[in-house]
Chain A
Amino acid sequence: MATDTRQRVEPRQPEARQDRKWSRDEVENRVFGVLRWVVIAGFLLVTLFPFYYMGLLSVRALDEVIQDPGALWVSPAEVELDTYSEVLTSEESGGQGFLDFMRNSGLVAFGTVALTLLVALPGAYAVSRLEFFGRRQISVLFLAVYLFPSILLAVPLFVFFTRIGLRGSLVGLLIVYVSQIVAVSIYMLRNYFDTIPESLEESAALDGCSRLGVMWRISLPLAMPAIVANGLFVFMIAWNEFLFALLFLVEERERWTVSLGLSQLAGSIEIPTTVLMAGSVILTVPIIVIFFASERLLTEGLTAGAEKG
C-alpha cells in the first residue's frame, strides 16, 4: 500500500517536473479546459439550431427559401407572418385549421392532466403511506406496464375502440392516455410523498383528523410542488403524443390534434413547407414555454429517487 502511494505521488515531485516541461496532468488540464468550451458550444448549436431553423423558416417566404436554402438570417423587412394566419384559419376559409387542432390537443391534454391527477394522487398516497395487501406487487405491475411496447397495446385497443364505437372520439383517446401515464405519475408522486415526514401527518391524526382529512389538509398542500410538476409532465406527454392519436383519429379531420395534423399535412405537396413550419412552431412553443417555466421542478421530479437507486 505504501509503495503504491509513493508511485502515484511521483509525477508531482519537483525533480520529475523539471525534467519535462509539460506534465501529462498539465497537458490534459489545458486540453480539457479548452475542449470543454468547444463541446458546450457544439451542444448548444446542435440542440438549439433545429428550433431556430424552425422559427426562421416559418417567417421566410417560400420562393426565397427555395432560391437560397442556406440563408441563416432574415431581415426584419422580409419577415412574413402570413404563414401563421394561413395555418391557423379554418379549412373552410382556406387555411389549415390549426386553431381547431389546438383546441382538440388542449382538451385532450387538460382532460388527461385532470383525470390522471384525480386517479394517481390517491393511488400514490396509498402506495407511499398505507400498508395493504399487494402493495409491493402493484408497484412491480405498474413498472412492468411501462416497459411494454405501446404498439403491442395499440392493436387490441384499436380493435376494442372500433368495436364499441369510441374510436374517433377524443374521450376514447383521453382514457388511453390516462391509462398509459398513470403508472409513471404514481411513481413520481410516490417518491415525493416518501420525502414528507410522516410525523406531520401523525400529529394531525392525533389532533383528531381522519385519514381523509389528513390527506386533504396536510399531505396535499405539502405535495403541491410535486403535483404541479407532475401535472406539467402529464400535459407535455399528452400534447406530444402521436401513435394513439394517429390510430384513433386519423379519419376524422375535425378531431385531429396538432401533432396528428402536422404529421398528416406534412405529407401533402400542396401545402408550403413554410406554412407547416409555422404549424411546428405552434406545436412546439407551448411545450418550450412550460418547460422553461418549470425546468427545475420537472427535472427534480423526474430524477428524484434516481440517486437512491
Chain B
Amino acid sequence: MTQTTDATPRESNPKASRSLRASDARAGLTLISPTLVIVVFMVVLPILWTVVLAFQPLSLLTLASTGLLSTDFTLDNFETVVTEPGFVDSLVTTLLYSVFGTASAIGVGLVAALVVRHSFPGRTFVRAAMLLPYVAPVVAATFVWRTMLDPQFGFVNHWGTRLLGWDEPIAFFTQQSSEISLLGLSISVPTALLSVIAFEAWRSFPFAFLFLMARLQAVPATLEEAARVDGATPTQRFRHILLPQLLPTIAVLSILRFIWTFNSFDDIYLLTGGGAGTEVVSVRVFEFLTARGDIGLASAQALVLAAILAVLVGVYLRRFAPQEEKT
C-alpha cells in the first residue's frame, strides 16, 4: 500500500501520470456516454422542445401534416392558459394540496420515526409495514381507498353512519364541499381536497419516515443521556436535542416532497379524475393534451407549472439555505 496511483507516479514520472489521467478521462467519458445520450435525447431535448411547442399552434389532429420544426410562432397559447376559466383555481388547489400534503406527510413521518426509534419486539416488521403505502402500486392503493370510502358499499361509510353518528354517507372523493356543524357553527369544508390530502399523507409519510429514522439513528446517544442526567423531560429532550438535529433533514425533505407533490399527477387523477375541486395543474395539462388534443396549450400550461415551481423553490432556497449551512 505504499504506492497510491494518484500521488507517487506524478512525482517520479510526470509523463506517465498525465497519460494515466488522460486515459481515465477517456474511460470516464466512454462509460458515462450511454447515460448521457439517453438523458440528453429523452429528457433534456424534450424539455427544450416543450418550450418551442408552447409557442406554436399545434394540435394532435394537425400533427401529421405539420412538420415537427415549424416556424409558426405565437403567444396565443400562454394567453389562453392564463385567461381560461379555472386557471387560478387550479393553481390555488395545487398549492394547497402541495403545502398541506407535504406538511402532513412529514409530520406523520416524524411521529412514526419517533415511535419506532428504540428497539422492541417486532420492530423490523412494524418498520416494513410502515413503508408499504409508499412501495405499493399507486393504482391499487387509490382503488382500495376509493372502495373503502365509497358512499354505497364502502367500509368507512358503513361504520361511520352506524358508530360515529354521521347523518348520511360522505362522498369523500366526489363531493366538492360539505357543511360541518361544530359547536353550533356551520363550517364549509372542501371534502374531496381534504380526502386527497389525507391520501397523500398516507402514501408519502413513509418517505419522510425512512429518512428521519436514518437521521435519528445517527444522533449520538451521549447527547440525550447528558440531557437526561440534567433532568430534561422527554418533550424537552425532543425540543432541544432531537429537533435541532433533525431540522436540516426536515428542510431537505420539505423541499423534495413539495416539488414532488406539486408535480404529482397519478394520485389525484386516479382518485377524483380532477373533479370536485381537486383539479391540480398537472391533471389540467393532461386534459389539454388528451381530451382537447391541443399540444401547444398543454406545453404552455406545463411550462407555467414548471416556472411557478422554480420561483417557489428559488424563494425557499434563498430564504432558508444560509440558515441550513450554519447548523
Closest CB of chain A to B309's CB: distance in Å? 7
Question: When each residue 116-145 of chain B gets 1 if its CB lies under 8 Å from chain A and 0 otherwise, what string results?
Answer: 100000001011111111011111110111
Chain A residues with CB under 8 Å of B233's CB are 24-25, 28-29
Query: Is residue B177 contacting chain A, with contact meaning CB distance below 8 A?
Result: no
Looking at B23-31, B78-86, B180-188, the stretch in contact with chain A turns out to be: B23-31
Query: Is residue B299 contacting chain A, with contact meaning CB distance below 8 A?
Result: yes
The answer to whether A5 touches B47 (Cβ under 8 A) is no
Chain A residues with CB under 8 Å of B1's CB are 199, 203
The answer to whether B231 touches A119 (Cβ under 8 A) is no
Nearest CB in chain B to that of A120: its residue: B35
Q: A18 vs B271: C-alpha distance in the bound complex, in angstroms?
A: 58
The answer to whether B28 touches A149 (Cβ under 8 A) is no
Query: Is residue B265 contacting chain A, with contact meaning CB distance below 8 A?
Result: yes
Closest CB of chain A to B259's CB: distance in Å? 5
Closest CB of chain A to B146's CB: distance in Å? 8
Chain B residues with CB under 8 Å of A48's CB are 129, 132
Of B24, B36, B153, the residue contacting A66 (CB under 8 A) is: B153
Question: When each residue 3-43 of chain A gets 1 if its CB lies under 8 Å from chain B and 0 otherwise, what string results?
Answer: 00100111110000000000011001100100010011001
Closest CB of chain A to B36's CB: distance in Å? 7
Q: A126 vs B68: C-alpha distance in the bound complex, in angstroms?
A: 36
The answer to whether B299 touches A156 (Cβ under 8 A) is yes
The answer to whether B305 touches A162 (Cβ under 8 A) is no
The answer to whether B140 touches A54 (Cβ under 8 A) is yes
Q: A152 vs B265: C-alpha distance in the bound complex, in angstroms?
A: 11
The answer to whether A44 touches B129 (Cβ under 8 A) is yes
Of B3, B127, B133, the residue contacting A206 (CB under 8 A) is: B3
Closest CB of chain A to B145's CB: distance in Å? 7
Closest CB of chain B to A234's CB: distance in Å? 13
Q: A309 vs B218: C-alpha distance in the bound complex, in angstroms?
A: 12
The answer to whether A151 touches B131 (Cβ under 8 A) is no
Q: A163 vs B69: C-alpha distance in the bound complex, in angstroms?
A: 12
The answer to whether B147 touches A277 (Cβ under 8 A) is yes
Question: When each residue 167-179 of chain A gets 1 if its CB lies under 8 Å from chain B and 0 otherwise, what string results?
Answer: 0000000011011
Closest CB of chain B to A138's CB: distance in Å? 6
Query: Is residue A73 contacting chain B, with contact meaning CB distance below 8 A?
Result: no
The answer to whether A283 touches B144 (Cβ under 8 A) is no
Nearest CB in chain B to that of A162: its residue: B63
The answer to whether B43 touches A303 (Cβ under 8 A) is no
Query: Is residue B285 contacting chain A, with contact meaning CB distance below 8 A?
Result: yes
Query: What 12 new A-B contacts, CB under 8 Å, besides A122-B35, A291-B135?
Result: A126-B28, A130-B25, A142-B39, A145-B39, A151-B265, A152-B303, A160-B49, A202-B5, A240-B137, A258-B139, A259-B139, A263-B143
What are 28 A-B interface contacts by the 8 Å CB criterion?
A: A9-B230, A28-B233, A44-B129, A51-B136, A69-B152, A122-B31, A123-B31, A126-B27, A132-B24, A132-B29, A132-B32, A138-B36, A141-B44, A148-B263, A149-B263, A153-B43, A155-B285, A155-B289, A158-B289, A176-B42, A180-B43, A202-B4, A242-B270, A243-B266, A266-B146, A291-B132, A299-B210, A303-B214
| B residues in contact (CB < 8 Å) with A | 1, 3-5, 21, 23-29, 31-32, 34-36, 38-39, 41-44, 46-47, 49-50, 53, 58, 60, 63, 68, 111-112, 115-116, 124, 126-133, 135-141, 143-148, 152-155, 157-159, 162, 202, 210-211, 214-215, 218, 230-235, 249, 252, 259, 262-263, 265-266, 270, 282, 285-286, 289-290, 295, 298-299, 302-303, 305-306, 309
Which 9 A-B residue pairs are closest in the complex by CB-CB distance?
A: A132-B28, A179-B42, A130-B28, A149-B263, A156-B46, A122-B31, A126-B31, A70-B158, A123-B35
